Chain A
Amino acid sequence: MRFAVVRFGGSNCDLDAVHVLRHVCGVETDLLWYKEGLGRGYDAVVIPGGFSYGDYLRAGAIAARTPLMGQILAHVKAGGLALGICNGAQIGAESGFVPGTFTLNAYPKFICRPVHLRVENNRTPFTSLYREGEVISLPIAHKEGRYMADPGVLAGLNRDKQVVFRFCDPEGRVSIDANPNGSAENITGVLGAGGNFLAMMPHPERASEALLGSEDGKRIFLSMIRTIEAGGRVPDDR
């Protein structure tokens, strides 16, 4: 099993993701400069956080138009797993891997703090080790993280169980008060139509070791590993 973490100019959570995958989860992981391309087949690709191309134009817009994203699209279309974290989520949305967009926070400043999330769907390759409805804590660190999509798109996401995480309070209540950035319906984790790409604004790689305050994020990576070990199927043992 082999993971790839891709790095654009301005990525800055790439080494955190590599560290967690290699040393916390124990999976072989390559760090790839975007110009190298994927080069070989991978079981999973992580598009990490950061400020690719200085967030010029719109966060993720320029990285989304690189040839590497075409290769990651082919990987996803072939059934491979891919995870976009923060800037990686913005890149994924700009690439059309998920509908909608992550845009300027409702209160237009950078927010960096832990938030609570409710796991809305645990029958995904990324969340099978959580309970449905479980409340977890992960940090967010973004200025352009407000998820926006047309009402029809939101209805489709709800219907097709593509909403994976919503901002909530510590008791799991999804409310305006628990919505740090004004995201539509508190949504901050969206699954692509094929179910094998997840765009999420919170940072699981920053919450994968008890030393750092929370291990809640680690199960994202462990769920992916478990799915790959099960041959790509989401293990159904709940």
Chain B
Amino acid sequence: MNFDVEVRISLKPGILDPEARAIQHALANLGLATSRLATARLFSITLEADDRAGAEVLARQMCERLLANPVIHRYEVEVRE
């Protein structure tokens, strides 16, 4: 059956996020101060699996093998039906 899966890739804590820093500066220039800002990437995936657990295993494989780079990234997988 089909499962909708959301995969969120973000930088590990402590890894420099230059894009976030630039966005914070730009917001500050608009008069919108932030004390923290982080970027992340969301993948909305529909995939076929036998059950929820199987869908999660597949999504994690996708993260391990392509979507995330283990040197800098962490990932979260959420399976929706």
Does B bind A? yes
Shortest Cβ distance from A158 into chain B, in angstroms? 17
Does B22 interact with chain A (Cβ within 8 Å)?
Answer: yes
Q: Enumerate A69-118 residues with CB–CB distance to B below 8 Å.
A: 94, 99-101, 103-108
A100 touches B71 (CB 8 A): yes
Give the docked Cα–Cα distance between A148 and B16 (Å).
10
Instruction: Say yes or no: is B72 at the interface (Cβ < 8 Å to chain A).
Output: yes
Q: Are B18 and A57 in contact (CB under 8 A)?
A: no
Interface membership of B61, Cβ < 8 A: no
Q: Report the nearest A residue to B20, measured CB to CB.
A: A108
- Within 8 Å CB of A134, what residues of B? none
Q: Is A123 an interface residue (CB 8 A)?
A: no
Q: Are A94 and B69 in contact (CB under 8 A)?
A: yes
- Tell me which residues from 50 to 70 in chain A have a Cβ below 8 Å from any Cβ of chain B: 57-58, 61, 65
If over half of B's interface residues share one DSSP class (helix, strand or loop), that class is named, otherwise mixed; here it is helix
Interface size on A, residues (CB 8 A): 18
Give the nearest-CB partner of A58 in chain B.
Answer: B69
Do B19 and A61 touch across chains, with their CB atoms under 8 A apart? Answer: no
Residues of A within 8 A of B19 (CB): 104, 108
Residue A182, interface by CB 8 Å: yes
Residues from chain B with Cβ under 8 Å of A25 in the complex: none
Which one, A65, A100, A106, contacts B16 given CB within 8 A? Answer: A106
Nearest chain A CB to B62 CB, angstrom units: 11
Q: Which B33-47 residues have a C-beta within 8 angstroms of A? A: none
Partner of B72, one of A61, A105, A106, A148: A148
Question: Is the pair B69, A101 in contact by a Cβ cutoff of 8 Å?
Answer: yes
Interface residues of B (CB under 8 A from A): 15-16, 18-19, 21-22, 65-67, 69, 71-72
A: which residues have CB within 8 A of B? 57-58, 61, 65, 94, 99-101, 103-108, 148-150, 182
6 contacts between A and B (CB under 8 A): A101-B69, A103-B69, A103-B72, A104-B19, A148-B71, A149-B71
Besides the contacts A57-B66, A57-B67, A101-B71, what 15 more A-B pairs have beta carbons closer than 8 Å? A58-B69, A61-B66, A101-B69, A101-B72, A103-B69, A103-B72, A104-B18, A104-B19, A105-B18, A106-B18, A107-B18, A108-B22, A148-B71, A148-B72, A182-B16
